[in-house]
Chains A and B, each alone.
Chain A
Amino acid sequence: MWILLKKDLLRLIKQPAGFLFLIAVPIVLSSLMGLIFANSEHGVILPHIALVIEDHDDSLLSGLLKNAFHQEELGEMFDVTEVDKDQGRAYIEQDKAAALLIIPAGFSDSLLALTPTELILVKNPSLDFGPKIVEEMVHILAEAADRIVRIGEEPITTIRNELENNERMTDATMAAIAVMINQLMTKTGSLIFDPPITLNKQSVSENESNNSNKSLFASTLCGIATMCLFFILNGLAVDYFREREHYTMYRILVSPTSSFDYILSKYVYLFFAGLISFLAVWSLAFFVWRIPIPLSQVLPFCLMLVIITSSSVGIISLIYSLVRSRSQAAAIIPALIIVFALLGGAMIPIQALPPFFERLSIFSPIYWGVDGLQKILLDQQGLTMLASHIMILILLSIACPTLSLLLQRRRILR
């Protein structure tokens, strides 16, 4: 088994582009978030603003955007009315609103396709202050989205070229990454609304606001890093198919190696590679972005990272042993991860979910990881308090690989 593992790691080292890119995504994103949170230290006192929104898109993403205006602090600042198509201008003309935000049809499609999109903002000329704020707000959103697109797009295209040449990564991985970046874009997009507002409310002392920023950053990172771990593992697990397509699995299995050893070596490989990337993201968070962690929490935190990684490996392997082909994997798995992430509170806080989905969140493996990390990092809870989290994750780490092992062995020996 160690021979197999050494070979996989050697292959990883020999062709690191794919892996580095997989790791780069969460690192770039967390850096970006770090920058955003670090820079948001000037604020203005904002009055109550009447905002009218016309949603021509009516999609999940436009819903998220609208939701952002309703959330706690923003909700206090904005008085949002959603109107039917083409009715918004009347509000402006009657001075009933400071501004009108039009979400055009196809907004979410083009956002997901990484093509430029446009939000239309109509300001009320007779009012002075309010419209400006709205403009600022939308501007911040647009700029952040633009920044992410630019940071995200360039590596995508270059890496894609690179990969097409050397066939290392597949469309599945590309799709996963693209979806991930897009999803994270909306995520950070809605987050950007928060920091200035948090600051405005608490412009008492800088330190205090800084800390609350950091804890917001930390709790968001718990979600993003866990979700990215799933995507990274998904990218690496394509190896299951690659070994089959290149007949190297065949050759391994006709040797004295048992199918058990083969499958086990893949788990261990995924585990190590996943843990490395997870640790990379968190080291950055602790050492560069200075997220505070009490010394007593370091060990529990590391333990949590380990069991999150092992359970994620189990879950991804199980899904891989259920799908039939690479294209099926590419279609199903990223979507599944996003559903898990959404339900698990990795993308938006669970409290922001509709109550029904909130109850469903315990079925998302991501929930147990994200919640556990947040409790250790933010609420300083000890491991004993997290017994149920740990038990569930360990259970997943055992049950999923076992089930997947049985399924895979059956598939290998027809």
Chain B
Amino acid sequence: MLKVSNLTKSFDRVLAVDHIFFHISIGEIFGFLGPNGAGKTTTINMICGLLNPDAGEIELDGQVLTPDRTGLRHKLGVVPQEIALYEELNAYENLRFWGRLYDLSGNALKGRIHELLQLSGLAERARDRVKTYSSGMKRRLNMIAGLLHRPALLLLDEPTVGIDPQGRHNILDSVREIAAQGTTILYTTHYLDEAEALCDRLAIIDHGRILAMGTEGEIKSIVGENAIIRITGDISKEDIEPLTSRFAHLKIESQKERELLLSFSTAERAGDIIEAMYASGLDIENLQIKEPSLDSAFIKLTGRELRD
């Protein structure tokens, strides 16, 4: 369906997307998981032809996507990260306009708008100006505006940012429903649970590079069966060294001012390590263990957590 090879883009001095390769097969929900500034939106912008890549190629159904091949965009549905709607118009007028841009018209358009308004639960408010909507409602409208023309590939850029848990569930459910109808989806997020719950395969991206890619299980195994210990307090690397030499599978992953991330293989017993830590008189204020999960995989890969 979509094949991205060697895609690269830099802004001034930032290398936003750094030689990435991935492909998405038909019917798949592909997750793009990365923290703020990872390069997710930049990648999407290149796919939908808004940014010229510095290098690399994007193929959709075997055809190369370039900014001037606007015809190919009929196959793409884009839901931007930001709310992109005319606030002074109502939901119906917005959808009618966005639909017309994809050559929809007449009863076909009307029917589709109606259908999507029902799906998103906005039907009752369709004649109110978007300005008067809650942010959750705007999010939903923002999403269905990208679905009007039944795209073959839907690019969803963090569609759940800034809405309450119930609204998120609502959106995740709709995404599943859209996928069930046969739409291929590229879903970017910085929420792990969303990626875990939704995606068939996913890529972890940070600083413009794909660090790992595959199914959830595959990614965990790439990283190894490691758990993470996070400690805060007045502790330096040197303080830990006696411990790392004692436990062969204990490693320092990263260190910030007062925070240390350690990983250890499940070959060790967590209890032993912690006991040894306290025994050596370290000034530990807070200690946290994370069992092997996508979360710990992410920390292991990027040296940081998804949300700081």
Tell which of A10, A247, A253, A254 touches B82, judged by Cβ atoms closer than 8 Å: A247
What is the distance, in angstroms, from A370's C-beta to the closest C-beta of chain B? 34
With a cutoff of 8 Å between Cβ atoms, the chain B residues found around residue A412 in the complex are: 50
A254 touches B85 (CB 8 A): no
Within 8 A of B (CB), among A149-206: 166-168
What is the distance, in angstroms, from B112's C-beta to the closest C-beta of chain A? 15
B50 touches A255 (CB 8 A): no
Closest to B146 in A: A251
Q: Bound state CA distance, A412 and B97, in angstroms?
A: 21
Q: A251-B78, A257-B70 are in contact. Are A3 and B97 (CB under 8 A)?
A: yes
Q: A7-B97, A413-B51 are in contact. Are A246 and B73 (CB under 8 A)?
A: no
With a cutoff of 8 Å between Cβ atoms, the chain B residues found around residue A14 in the complex are: 88-89, 129
Closest to B93 in A: A10
Closest to A258 in B: B70
With a cutoff of 8 Å between Cβ atoms, the chain B residues found around residue A257 in the complex are: 70, 101
Q: A246-B85, A256-B101, A256-B103 are in contact. Are A251 and B70 (CB under 8 A)?
A: no
Q: Bound state CA distance, A11 and B93, in angstroms?
A: 10
With a cutoff of 8 Å between Cβ atoms, the chain A residues found around residue B101 in the complex are: 3-4, 252, 255-257
Tell which of A11, A166, A167, A250 touches B84, judged by Cβ atoms closer than 8 Å: A250
Q: A11-B86, A246-B85 are in contact. Are A414 and B52 (CB under 8 A)?
A: yes
Q: Bound state CA distance, A246 and B82, in angstroms?
A: 8
Tell which of B51, B71, B100, B131 touches A166, judged by Cβ atoms closer than 8 Å: B131
With a cutoff of 8 Å between Cβ atoms, the chain B residues found around residue A413 in the complex are: 50-52, 67
Instruction: Return the CB mask of B115-133 against A: 1 if under 8 Å, else 0.
Output: 0000000000000010100
Tell which of A4, A168, A255 touches B88, judged by Cβ atoms closer than 8 Å: A168
Within 8 A of A (CB), among B18-70: 48-52, 67-68, 70
With a cutoff of 8 Å between Cβ atoms, the chain B residues found around residue A252 in the complex are: 101
A256 touches B74 (CB 8 A): yes
Instruction: Return the CB mask of B1-26 against A: 1 if under 8 Å, else 0.
Output: 00000000001000000000000000
Tell which of A4, A167, A250, A254 touches B73, judged by Cβ atoms closer than 8 Å: A254
Whether a CB of chain A sits under 8 angstroms from the CB of B98 is: yes
Within 8 A of A (CB), among B73-113: 73-74, 76, 78, 80, 82-89, 93, 97-98, 100-103
A254 touches B49 (CB 8 A): yes
With a cutoff of 8 Å between Cβ atoms, the chain A residues found around residue B76 in the complex are: 254
The CB with the most chain B CB atoms within 10 A, among A167, A247, A252, is that of: A247
Tell which of A4, A10, A250 touches B50, judged by Cβ atoms closer than 8 Å: A250
What is the distance, in angstroms, from B13's C-beta to the closest C-beta of chain A? 15
> Number of contact residues on A: which range applies?
20 to 34
Q: Bound state CA distance, A258 and B68, in angstroms?
A: 8
Instruction: Return the CB mask of A240-281 against B: 1 if under 8 Å, else 0.
Output: 000000111011111111100000000000000000000000
Q: Bound state CA distance, A318 and B109, in angstroms?
A: 36
With a cutoff of 8 Å between Cβ atoms, the chain B residues found around residue A250 in the complex are: 50, 80, 82, 84
Whether a CB of chain B sits under 8 angstroms from the CB of A15 is: yes
Q: Bound state CA distance, A412 and B103, in angstroms?
A: 23
What is the distance, in angstroms, from A254's C-beta to the closest C-beta of chain B? 4
Q: Bound state CA distance, A246 and B83, in angstroms?
A: 7
With a cutoff of 8 Å between Cβ atoms, the chain A residues found around residue B51 in the complex are: 413-414
Tell which of A166, A248, A254, A258 touches B86, judged by Cβ atoms closer than 8 Å: A248
Closest to B155 in A: A254
> Number of contact residues on B: which range applies?
20 to 34
A3 touches B80 (CB 8 A): no
Q: Bound state CA distance, A255 and B72, in angstroms?
A: 9
Closest to B11 in A: A414
What is the distance, in angstroms, from A20's C-beta to the closest C-beta of chain B? 14
Closest to A261 in B: B70
Q: Bound state CA distance, A252 and B98, in angstroms?
A: 8
B86 touches A7 (CB 8 A): yes
With a cutoff of 8 Å between Cβ atoms, the chain A residues found around residue B102 in the complex are: 255-256
B85 touches A256 (CB 8 A): no
Closest to B149 in A: A255
A251 touches B80 (CB 8 A): yes
Tell which of A10, A246, A414 touches B87, judged by Cβ atoms closer than 8 Å: A246
B70 touches A256 (CB 8 A): yes
Q: Bound state CA distance, A168 and B87, in angstroms?
A: 9
Whether a CB of chain A sits under 8 angstroms from the CB of B153 is: no
Closest to A409 in B: B67
With a cutoff of 8 Å between Cβ atoms, the chain A residues found around residue B11 in the complex are: 414
Q: Bound state CA distance, A257 and B48, in angstroms?
A: 12
Q: Bound state CA distance, A255 and B73, in angstroms?
A: 6
The CB with the most chain B CB atoms within 10 A, among A3, A247, A256, A414, is that of: A256
Tell which of B80, B93, B98, B131 touches A247, judged by Cβ atoms closer than 8 Å: B80
With a cutoff of 8 Å between Cβ atoms, the chain B residues found around residue A246 in the complex are: 83-87
Instruction: Return the CB mask of A1-39 against B: 1 if under 8 Å, else 0.
Output: 001100100110011000000000000000000000000
What is the distance, in angstroms, from B146's C-beta to the closest C-beta of chain A? 8
What is the distance, in angstroms, from A169's C-beta to the closest C-beta of chain B? 12
With a cutoff of 8 Å between Cβ atoms, the chain A residues found around residue B146 in the complex are: 251
The CB with the most chain B CB atoms within 10 A, among A10, A166, A251, A256, is that of: A251
With a cutoff of 8 Å between Cβ atoms, the chain A residues found around residue B129 in the complex are: 14
Closest to A2 in B: B100
B98 touches A251 (CB 8 A): yes
Closest to A251 in B: B84
Q: Bound state CA distance, A11 and B88, in angstroms?
A: 7
Closest to B100 in A: A3
What is the distance, in angstroms, from A236's C-beta to the closest C-beta of chain B? 14
A247 touches B84 (CB 8 A): yes
B89 touches A11 (CB 8 A): yes
With a cutoff of 8 Å between Cβ atoms, the chain A residues found around residue B86 in the complex are: 7, 11, 246, 248
The CB with the most chain A CB atoms within 10 A, among B51, B86, B93, is that of: B86
Whether a CB of chain A sits under 8 angstroms from the CB of B145 is: yes
Q: Bound state CA distance, A32 and B84, in angstroms?
A: 42
A3-B100, A10-B89, A254-B73 are known contacts; what are 5 more A-B pairs with Cβ within 8 Å?
A11-B86, A246-B83, A248-B86, A253-B50, A412-B50
25 contacts between A and B (CB under 8 A): A3-B97, A3-B100, A10-B93, A11-B89, A14-B89, A15-B88, A166-B131, A246-B83, A247-B84, A250-B80, A250-B84, A252-B101, A253-B49, A253-B50, A254-B50, A254-B76, A254-B78, A254-B80, A255-B73, A255-B101, A256-B70, A257-B101, A258-B70, A413-B52, A413-B67
4 tightest A-B contacts by CB?
Answer: A247-B84, A255-B101, A251-B84, A254-B48
